[in-house]
Amino acid sequence: MSEPGAQEPRVREPGAHELRARAEKLDAEDALAHKRAEFVLDDAVYLDGNSLGALPAGVPDRVADVVRRQWGELRIRSWDESGWWTAPERIGDRIAPLVGTGPGRIVVGDSTSVNILKALVAAVRMAGEGRDEIVVDATTFPTDGYIAASAARLTGRTLRPVAPSEIPGALGDRTAAVLLNHVDYRTGRLHDLPSLTAAVHGAGALAVWDLCHSAGALPVGLDEHGVDLAVGCTYKYLNGGPGSPAYLYVRADLQSRFDSPLPGWNSHAEPFGMRAGYEPAEGALRGRVGTPDILSMLALEAALDVWRDVSVEAVRAKSLALTDFFLECVEAYVPRGRVESLTPAAHPERGSQVALRCDDAGDVMRRLIERGVVGDFRAPDVLRFGFTPLYVGFADAERAARVLGELLTA
C-alpha cells in the first residue's frame, strides 16, 4: 500500500465481490450489531466518531425532560430533587468501569484542557521540591502542550518535550510529572500505558494520562496499572455530544494530597458555608471547581445508557477486527503507492482509528464526504477514519475503502 510506483488496477485480490460477501457475513455474526439501532444515523458511513460521536437515540427526550420539567417546572428544586448537585460524581462513577476503575475516583466537569491543568499542577505539587522538570509527549495534541507549558510556568518548572518511545531513558531525579497521550491523535498509535507508567514510577515521578482517544474504544486499566491521574473528553467514543464535559481521575490513595490549582466553591468541604478560607472536600470532589454545566452533563448521562449491556473488551475486539478489515479493503481497492498507512499493523500498538497519508488529503476528504463517507483531515496530508464499534459495521468499512479507491483511481 505504501510502495511508490505506477498505479495498478483498482481492485486486487481479494475482489470486491468477496470483500462485500465477507462484510455481510461479519455483520451478521457481530454481537454488537444491535447497538447501531440505539443511535441516530443516516445513509452516510460515519467514521468521525474519534472527533464527535453519533447521537444516541435516547438523548433528545432526556434532554427535553431536563429543560421542560426539571428546569422549566422544578427550577431550583432540581439541584436536590433531580440530582443536579451530585451529577459530577454520579456520572463519573458511570464512566469509571469504561476506563478500569471504581466508584469515587472520577469527577465530571470542565473541559479536557482545564482538567489537564488541574492534574498536571497537582502532580507537580505532589512530586515535591527538588523535581524541577515536567516531561510532555512531544507528539501530543497541541492543547496538551500549551497547557503543559503553562503548568511549567505556574510551578517554576522546566518543560521537556520527549517522544513517547524515548521517555523511559529521559526520566530521572529531576522529573516531577509526565503528561502522555494514550493514543496518538494523528496516527492512531496506542502507547504502552502499563510500561510507561511503570517507568515514570520507577523514576519517582507521577504519570498523567490523556485518554481522549482511548476511553470507550479500548480497555485502559487505570487501577490495574497504577495510573496517578488521568483526564479525558466525553464527546468522542463516549458520544456525549459537542462540547460535553470532560472528566478527571485521581487515584484513590492520592486524593488526600490532590492540591488543585483551581479551588472553587464546588470543591469546598462546605460549599454553602461561604467561608473566606478554602478547605478542600474529601475524595474526587476536590476536582470540582464551579457550578456544573447541567444541560450538557445530563445529556452525557443519557448517552452513557448505550453502555449498559456492553463490555469494553467486546468493543476492543470489534475495533481491531474493523480496522484490520478496513486496511485489507484499502489494500485491495486503492492503487498501490497512492496512500500510506500511518497506523501500526500490530494490534497492541493500534487504537481505534486508521490514518492514511495522502498527498492531496484535504481535497480527497472533501470528495469522500460528498460521496457519503465522513472521516476527517489533519494537515498537511493525513486522512483519519475513526471506527466506533457500537455503530460502525463491516459493510461501512468496505464501502469507505471502495469509495476511496474509486476517487484515487479516477
At 257, which helix (H) or strand (E)? none
- Reply yes or no on whether the pLDDT at 409 is more than 80: yes
Does domain 16-30+311-409 fall under CATH 3.50.50.60? My reply is: no
> What grid cell was written down for 275?
467561608
- Reply yes or no on whether the pLDDT at 1 is more than 80: no
* pLDDT for residue 131: 98
Q: Name the catalytic one among 48, 144, 184, 210.
A: 210
- Name the 3-class secondary structure at 353: strand
- What is the average per-residue pLDDT within 105-130? 97
* pLDDT for residue 159: 98
- What is the average per-residue pLDDT within 334-340? 97
Q: Name the catalytic one among 105, 118, 288, 384.
A: 384
Query: In the annotation, is 236 catalytic?
Result: yes
Q: Are 382 and 365 in contact (CB under 8 A)?
A: no
Q: Cα–Cα distances in Å, from 243 out to 55, 112, 142, 351, 378?
A: 13, 10, 18, 22, 20
Per-residue pLDDT reduced to its tens digit, 131-168? 999 999 999 999 999 999 999 999 999 999 999 999 99
* pLDDT for residue 88: 98
pTM of the model: 0.95
* pLDDT for residue 229: 98
Query: In the annotation, is 210 catalytic?
Result: yes
Q: Are 331 and 265 in contact (CB under 8 A)?
A: no
CA distance 345 to 55: 30
- What is the average per-residue pLDDT within 121-126? 98
Q: Name the catalytic one among 118, 157, 160, 236.
A: 236
> What grid cell was written down for 272?
454553602
pLDDT band at 12 (very low <50, low <70, confident <90, very high): low
Domain boundaries, given as residue ranges, for the chain = 16-30+311-409, 60-307
Q: DSSP per residue over 160-179, as a string?
A: EEE-GGGHHHH--TTEEEEE
- What is the average per-residue pLDDT within 230-237? 98
Average pLDDT, the chain: 96
Q: Name the catalytic one among 39, 185, 235, 249.
A: 235
What does the CA dihedral 105, 108, 114, 115 come to, rounded to 10 degrees?
20
Does domain 60-307 fall under CATH 3.40.50.150? My reply is: no
- Reply yes or no on whether the pLDDT at 319 is more than 90: yes
* pLDDT for residue 267: 98
At 8, which helix (H) or strand (E)? none
CA distance 81 to 87: 12
pLDDT band at 410 (very low <50, low <70, confident <90, very high): confident
Segments of 32-97 assigned E as strands: 39-40, 45-46, 55-56
CA distance 295 to 306: 19
CA distance 210 to 215: 9
